[in-house]
Amino acid sequence: MHISEGVLSAPVLVTGALLTSAGTALGLKKMTYERIPEVAVLSSAFFVASLIHVPVGPSSVHLILNGLLGILLGWMAFPSILVALLLQALLFQFGGFTSLGVNTFNMAAPAVIAYYLFNIPIRRANHFIGILSGFGAGLTGVGLGALFVAIALVSTGEGFLNVAKVVVVAHLPVMLIEGIITAFCVTFLKKVKPEILEVGR
């Protein structure tokens, strides 16, 4: 869901940059020294997952894993995703530097929302609730991400309305795939490393 360079209007770019700056500042404030390796590993996972993408107009379709990042990192998803997108723009020209703020917000804000919606249910010991919550987190991360991309495009101009609709529709199957992947990851982590999810706390 990278928005390419030169597509968005200046007000949208500035708004995205300001929102991302605020989210990143809050994420860095919450990040302890002990959490840095975890944030780095998840940033790498996000980087790799979103490398393989299919262009859809000025955006693209690919795996994101922002729902999983949100569950595990909360607000720290902002700096984690920012670093990954910065490296992708630098190394592979995905997205762009001027659109970095908007692209980061479009991915990180849904991650934080997924955290607040599903963190408590996932922390419960009930296996079935954990699976459903993991699925919901993956679904929410991609769904809201696609919606935010569409809003950014439409806010730039009505001429992007059809493209915005295509972006949302194209991500419907990705939502289901991400939901399944996130549910499996949550189930696996509950078995092998439950403390990372703070299960039972």
Which CATH number do you get for residue 39? 1.10.1760.20
pLDDT of residue 201: 43
Question: 11-20, 110-119, 186-195 — which is least confidently predicted?
Answer: 186-195
pLDDT surpassing 50 at residue 144 = yes
Residue the block writes with tokens 């990954």: 84
Q: Is residue 107 part of a domain?
A: yes
The two three-digit tokens of residue 3, written as one number: 């928005």
pLDDT of residue 14: 96
Q: Is residue 4 part of a domain?
A: no
Q: Is residue 1 part of a domain?
A: no
Among left, alpha and beta (phi > 0; psi -120 to 50; other), residue 6 is left
Check residues 77 and 92 and name the one with the higher pLDDT.
77
In the chain the first and final C-alpha atoms are separated, in Å, by 35
Give me the half-sphere count of Cα atoms (radius 13 Å) on the Cβ side of residue 2: 30
pLDDT of residue 57: 60
Q: Is residue 97 part of a domain?
A: yes
Global confidence as pTM: 0.88
What's the number of domains the chain is made of?
1
pLDDT of residue 53: 65
Helix (H, G, I), strand (E, B) or coil at 99: coil
Q: Is residue 29 part of a domain?
A: yes
Q: How confident is the model at residue 160 (pLDDT cuts 50, 70, 90)?
A: confident
Q: Is residue 127 part of a domain?
A: yes
Question: What share of the chain in percent tops pLDDT 90?
Answer: 51
CB 46 within 8 A of CB 66: yes
Q: Is residue 2 part of a domain?
A: no
pLDDT of residue 145: 93
Beta-carbon contacts of 26 under 8 Å, excluding residues fewer than 6 positions away, are 75, 78
Q: Is residue 5 part of a domain?
A: no
Burial class (CB in 10 A: 0-12, 13-18, 19+), 112: buried
Can you name the residues that pair with 39 across neighbouring β-strands?
none
For residue 139, give its domain range: 10-197
